[in-house]
Structure 1
Amino acid sequence: MKKAIFLILLSCLFQAEAQSSALTMADSLYATGSYTKAINFYAKVGSSRGNLQIARAYNSIGNYDKAILQYESLMDGSPELQIARFELGKLYLKTKRFDDGRKLFTSLVSDDANNPEYLYYQGESFRELDQSASSLVAYKKAVEVDSTHLKSIFQLGKYFVVKQETQEALKYLNLGLLFFENDVSLINLKALALFNNNEYSKALPFFERLLELEEHKPHIYGKLAHCYFKEWDFEKSKNTYHALIRMDKDDPDPYFNLGHVFLKEQQLDSAKFYIKKSKEVQDPSFHREYRSLAGIAREEEDLKGAFEYYKLAFKEEPSDYMAYYQICTTADQLFKDPNLKLQYYENFIKKFGPDIRYFSERAKKRISELKQELHFAKD
């Protein structure tokens, strides 16, 4: 009897040692990225921890279907195993099973409402399901639980920036920047929130800070240049647009905007050069360039040139009522024949009259004056 018990104990000891050895080997293989070999050793162990590592290994090699099955099997055997539920929930999101993720994270939040990660991923599930109101509630709760929860702060800031609710956006972005002052995503969102609210002087230093942090992206240069322009710092605006042009010589916008900086300085030759350059580098739709060139021609008192540019602008964009109205007013100044002037104004009424009330009224008033002029000329 004693001998039998001894043999049983000895067998258990050898089995425990074998499992321990297999677990050690599996952990070593997992740590060095040999996931398939690690799975084989974890399978020999047969413990909850081993099964969890098998799920993680399948996840690491991208076999998400097997990883999900392994996690779900773990949950069936140990429903209280929160780490497995948490990792499965994230895997549901990765594989676009958003409603499954929502259910799982809602369950986790129910078990532990003070875990900001559970709340954040619950918010992510709702966001992917286009349930914005519920996602905002989850993100806000995550921040209430942990005021430094960067991912939730970012999502809240981004949402309110997109919605152009500047004060709400700044509330969360400023909170995040208290703890993460050099976080480029938060700085970028704050700069955009202020820029979109036309607070260019306040946005400017944040765009400058992004460049200091090596965020050399075209949209940053473009908005920074516009801030300088709005603050009447034309030299910095020009330098920044030139930097943007060096980044992409085929983007028409920097040339166009640079032309308007020179126009603001009344440097008309340079303004024409850059606006024409914008026309040259872009696909053939030059509506805005022709209108700007028409405006410059008017500044130069070149009515004939302005008239031709306005006609070209309208040809490019036949729905632009302002371009056609400018054709009318320029023709009114350029030509002597009142019949010709009358023809342009009447065409404006035919094309746009019912929709453009203010300019239609002005056109009708001028039509009346021209008809009266013609009447007196006959007399």
Structure 2
Amino acid sequence: MNKALLILIVLITLKTEAQTSVLQHADSLYLNGNYSKAIEQYKTLTKTEEVFDKIAKAYIAIGNYDAALEYYQKSLEANPDDALVKYEYAKLLSKTKKFKEASTQFNELVYIDYKNPNYHYELGLALEALNDSTAMNRFRSAYDLDQTHQKAIYKIARSYVKKRAYEQAEYFINKGLESYENNVSLISLKAQNYYNKDDYKNSKIWFHKLVQLGESSEFIHVKLSVIHAELSEYEEAIEQRKRALNFNPYDSNGLFLIGTYYERLNDYENAEKYILQCLKLKDVPLDYEYQKLGTIYNRQQKYKEAIASFQTALKENPDNINSAFYMVVSKDKYYADTDAKIKLYEDFKTQYPESFYVKLANMRLQELKEEKFMNED
């Protein structure tokens, strides 16, 4: 063998082995949670296009979704027929509220493999977020392909519960519970379905099943309290209302109802105690407390909950401009549509033209309009 050729083969072999070693090291770093270091190693590889998807996953792991989307796009450019990468990319688009782009990707996946139920389900989620009425068709397709698909069943059943189509709702709920009897989402729907048709005895059974499974929320305990009261089980109604108060101690209506239940039991001392607490709360605006709660939610990036808190604060005190502006900012963070964001700030300026926050609103409006202009280009 020619000496020069032999040397070339050795060099190529050494280079290949070195690249393999780097890849193995990068994979090891990723598996052990050292994601940033893994990204650095992946990027040193000669054929980076072969690990674009791994780089994307590492960026997801450290919370850099923009970079992850960029590398998924690069991966698809290099491997346009890779359905797995397309699926992960589409899911991340949905997660980052880019629902229109996500629906496009999921539509392509459905075309590639129509019999994959999860492609239909994920497409349904994206369409639902876009308020597209065809979303339910996708959930039904997912169910038709897999009649044990719990998430698709939940979406279908919930739509019937909302429409008060009791029999259809019951059918799908029972289908789901056949394959997963402890699905708390479906159990909750079953309890609500009975509640909506005033079947309190059966509703009570299923709400209590939720509690037995470790579920506890203001919604569950309020519903149980109402049910027990309807069945004249006032001691149980009081117990459930008190548990609901753990989630919302400022619920003056809840305090009032506890007082009325004690009255039914002829316990007038406790009846007086709770009704006085109710009246005391009704005389004290709670806008500051809800405003504070909203700012705490914002710090945790729980924008949906923050919006609800500021809305409550404004109900308590409609003149609280701070809460009004904070709610606009929260919606700005939560909404995906730029036009909707622009309208929020313009509406605020119209409603509070003399507010100090108008200056801040104008600054944000300029940013949003520039962003919209760039996107249109």
- TM-score (normalised: structure 1): 0.68
> What does residue 39 of structure 2 align with?
39
1:172 CA displacement? 2.3
Within-5 A mapping of 1:208-357 = 208-245=208-245, 248-262=248-262, 274-283=274-283
Q: Distance in 1 between matches of 2:248 and 2:93?
A: 40
Q: Distance in 2 between matches of 1:97 and 1:248?
A: 34
Name the aligned partner's letter for residue 208 of structure 1: H
Q: Distance in 1 between matches of 2:125 and 2:193?
A: 22
Q: Distance in 2 between matches of 1:245 and 1:71?
A: 47
* Residues 203-245 of structure 1 deviation map (CA, whole Å, 9 limit, x = unaligned): 1011111211222222211111111122232332233334444
SS at match of 1:214: coil
Q: Distance in 1 between matches of 2:155 and 2:221?
A: 24
Q: CA RMSD in A?
A: 2.5
> What does residue 51 of structure 1 align with?
52
* Residues 96-131 of structure 1 deviation map (CA, whole Å, 9 limit, x = unaligned): 211111110000001111112211110011011101
- TM-score (normalised: structure 2): 0.68
> What does residue 147 of structure 1 align with?
147
Q: Which moved more, 1:230-239 or 1:96-105?
A: 230-239
Name the aligned partner's letter for residue 186 of structure 1: L
Q: Distance in 1 between matches of 2:243 and 2:20?
A: 62
1:249 CA displacement? 4.3
1:121 equivalent in alignment to 2:111: no
Q: Distance in 2 between matches of 1:34 and 1:67?
A: 16
1:184 CA displacement? 2.0
Name the aligned partner's letter for residue 126 of structure 1: L
> What does residue 26 of structure 1 align with?
26
SS at match of 2:44: helix
Name the aligned partner's letter for residue 88 of structure 2: E
1:184 equivalent in alignment to 2:188: no
Name the aligned partner's letter for residue 156 of structure 1: I
Name the aligned partner's letter for residue 65 of structure 1: D
Q: Distance in 2 between matches of 1:59 and 1:246?
A: 36
Name the aligned partner's letter for residue 94 of structure 1: K
> What does residue 69 of structure 2 align with?
68
1:262 CA displacement? 4.7
Q: Distance in 1 between matches of 2:249 and 2:127?
A: 42
Name the aligned partner's letter for residue 149 of structure 2: H
SS at match of 2:198: coil
1:80 equivalent in alignment to 2:81: yes
1:44 CA displacement? 2.9
Contact preservation (8 Å) 1:157, 1:170? yes
Query: For the pair shown, which has the larger CA radius of gyration, 1 or 2?
Result: 1
Question: Percent of aligned pairs with the same residue?
Answer: 31
1:200 CA displacement? 1.2
* Residues 117-149 of structure 1 deviation map (CA, whole Å, 9 limit, x = unaligned): 2111100110111013x1111111111111222
Q: Distance in 2 between matches of 1:241 and 1:33?
A: 45
SS at match of 1:5: helix
Structure 2 spans left out of the alignment, 5+ residues? 286-377
SS at match of 1:8: helix
Q: Distance in 2 between matches of 1:91 and 1:118?
A: 14
Q: Which moved more, 1:265-274 or 1:185-194?
A: 265-274
1:272 CA displacement? 5.9
Contact preservation (8 Å) 1:225, 1:241? yes
Name the aligned partner's letter for residue 188 of structure 1: S
SS at match of 1:105: helix
**Relative to 1, partners in 2 of residues 1:212 and 1:18: Cα closer, same or farther, differing over 3 Å?**
same
Q: Which moved more, 1:103-112 or 1:40-49?
A: 40-49
Name the aligned partner's letter for residue 227 of structure 1: I
Within-5 A mapping of 1:140-179 = 140-179=140-179
Name the aligned partner's letter for residue 239 of structure 1: E
**Relative to 1, partners in 2 of residues 1:283 and 1:91: Cα closer, same or farther, differing over 3 Å?**
farther
Number of equivalenced pairs: 284
Name the aligned partner's letter for residue 144 of structure 2: E
Contact preservation (8 Å) 2:157, 2:172? yes
1:190 CA displacement? 1.9
Q: Which moved more, 1:196-205 or 1:256-265?
A: 256-265
Contact preservation (8 Å) 1:154, 1:173? yes
Name the aligned partner's letter for residue 238 of structure 1: I
* Residues 322-372 of structure 1 deviation map (CA, whole Å, 9 limit, x = unaligned): xxxxxxxxxxxxxxxxxxxxxxxxxxxxxxxxxxxxxxxxxxxxxxxxxxx
> What does residue 90 of structure 1 align with?
91
Q: Distance in 1 between matches of 2:269 and 2:23?
A: 77
